[in-house]
Amino acid sequence: GAGVSQSPRYKVAKRGQDVALRCDPISGHVSLFWYQQALGQGPEFLTYFQNEAQLDKSGLPSDRFFAERPEGSVSTLKIQRTQQEDSAVYLCASSLLGGGWGTQYFGPGTRLLVL
């Protein structure tokens, strides 16, 4: 069926606001990844879920960033008290099996601009 979808596609936030970014992975995919892509750079790993378990959150830049995947499907990345340096494209990817070595299917990303 459908690929990975993300919403919203664009988000403008005032500094200090909280934002929530949603990812709908491909149905049945075990693994879900979040990445942050700054302008002109490659994606940087943020966090990884295997089903509902968050197995790696080593890439989250600060405790203002929080991610969840409560039922092992849809995931939300929340950023509290946004700062200008949080401006980036946030990519979500899913993979059929557990682990990071399989093919990752990426969503279109959410472009976040913090003013």
Partner 1 sequence: AQTVTQSQPEMSVQEAETVTLSCTYDTSESDYYLFWYKQPPSRQMILVIRQEAYKQQNATENRFSVNFQKAAKSFSLKISDSQLGDAAMYFCAYIRGGGSNYKLTFGKGTLLTVNP
Closest CA to 65 of 54, 52, 53, 73: 54
Tell me whether residue 18 or residue 53 sits nearer to partner 1 (CB atom): 53
Q: How far is the CB of 111 from partner 1 (least distance, A)?
A: 10
Tell me whether residue 69 or residue 82 sits nearer to partner 1 (CB atom): 69
Binding residues (CB under 8 A) for partner 1: these are: 3-4, 31, 33, 40-45, 48, 55-56, 58-59, 91, 93, 98-101, 103-109
Composition of the chain by helix, strand, coil, percent to 5: 5, 50, 50
Measured distance CA(5)–CA(74) in Å, rounded: 10
85 secondary structure, DSSP code = G
Q: How far is the CB of 2 from partner 1 (least distance, A)?
A: 12
Q: How far is the CB of 48 from partner 1 (least distance, A)?
A: 4
